[in-house]
Chain A
Amino acid sequence: MFVGGIGLILFFYISLSAGIYDVSLQQLIDAFLRRNVSENIDLVIFHFRLPRVILAGFVGLGLGIAGAVLQGITKNGLADPGILGINSGAGAAIVVFMFFFQGHVSSTSWLFTLTMPIYGLVGGLTAALLIYFISWEQGRLDPQRLLLTGIAAGAGFGAFTIFISLKMKAQDFEMATVWLSGSIYSANWLFVLAVIPWFLICVPVIMRRTYMLDLFRMSEESLISIGVSVEKEKSILLLSSIGLISACVSVAGSISFVGLMAPHMARLIVGNEHKNIVPVCGLIGMLLVIGSDFIARSVVAPAEIPVGIIIAIIGVPYFVYLLFKVRM
Chain B
Amino acid sequence: MKKKYLDIVLTMEEQKRIFEEKKKYEYPQAAVIEALKIAQEKRKWISKDVIYAISEILSIPSVYVQEVATFYSQIFLEPVGRNVIRYCDSVVCYVVGYKKILSILEKYLKIKPGQTTIDNKFTLLPICCLGCCDRAPSMMVNEDTYFNLSDKKIVSILESYL
Asked if A pairs with B, the answer is: no
